[in-house]
Amino acid sequence: MSQRQLIHGFHAIVSRLRHHPESIQVIYLDETRKDRRAKDLLKSAEDKGVRVVMADGARVEEMARGKSQGVVALADPIQLAKDLDSVLEDLTEPALLLVLDGVTDPHNLGACLRSADAFGVHAVIAPKDRAAGLSAVAIKAASGAADSVPYLTVTNLARTLRELKERDILIVGTDDEAPGAVTDADFSGPAALVLGAEGSGMRRLTREHCDLLVRIPMFGQVESLNVSVSAGVCLYEARRQRSVAG
């Protein structure tokens, strides 16, 4: 059996209750919480048949290392898709994928998952090494998106990009020094957007596997955007193009 995980924060737990209630073993709720959010969570848990234990607030905070919002759940990990094949074979529209190379901050990962969910990304792909995993911090930052967007980790990212190219999926990498803007890329067909960690960017081998490099035009004083903000901007452009084409 997979090792159980802690989920903390109302958004993350309510989302898990909504999408995968069978995975939750128990919810610990701060016994002093009498507000609407706590009452709604209790009602949802009751409707789904999930046990809730009213617990000492300090104990709940200790379980979540001080980031619980007063609620923690013990749950089995869920897997939305086993591999890329299972994602792509059921699509009814051109694939839209987000590839993260070297994103190690769980808050950034969670925020990227939120952007991916908002703009209909079919899967987020990242290397197993030197990348953030779906920890409790990442799941909380995702605010429910971790339960709706498959997060696939691969042993060899360069090989995965080659496999995507063999499937006629356009690989679009982001680079602050790229000559073309993100609006110059054609996202109307199958596409994978590749972003590297803020500061270091994509690794050399990852960059070499991109069909096209684009940048986000900047008009202010800052030189770069947070990776999750960059993902949101680029994915919005991809969906805008598809809306126009459709």
Same domain, 142 and 173: yes
Per-residue confidence (pLDDT) for residue 197, from 0 to 100: 84
* H helix or E strand, kind and range, residue 151: strand 151-154
pTM greater than 0.85 = no
User: Do 107 and 202 fall into the same domain?
Assistant: yes
What's the rounded Cα separation, in Å, for the pair 53 and 231? 38
Measure the CA–CA gap between 132 and 100, rounded to whole angstroms: 10
On average, the pLDDT of the chain sits at: 92
Determine the average pLDDT of the residues in 38-51. Answer: 95
Same domain, 200 and 229: yes
Same domain, 131 and 222: yes
Last residue of a domain, one of 30, 51, 75: 75
Q: What is the pLDDT of residue 246?
A: 67
The residue range of the domain holding 98 is 84-245
- Between CA 1 and CA 3 the distance in angstroms is 6
Q: Are 69 and 91 in a shared domain?
A: no
The domain that holds 46 is classified in CATH as: 3.30.1330.30
Q: What is the CATH number of the domain that holds 88?
A: 3.40.1280.10
- Cα-to-chain-centroid distance, residue 162: 22
pLDDT surpasses 70 at 229: yes
Note the pLDDT of residue 1. 38
Tell which of 37, 53, 75 closes a domain: 75
Average pLDDT for 168-195: 95
Average pLDDT of span 222-239: 93
pLDDT of 181 > 90? The answer is yes
Q: Which tens digits make up the pLDDT trace of 1-31?
A: 357 888 988 988 998 999 899 999 999 999 9
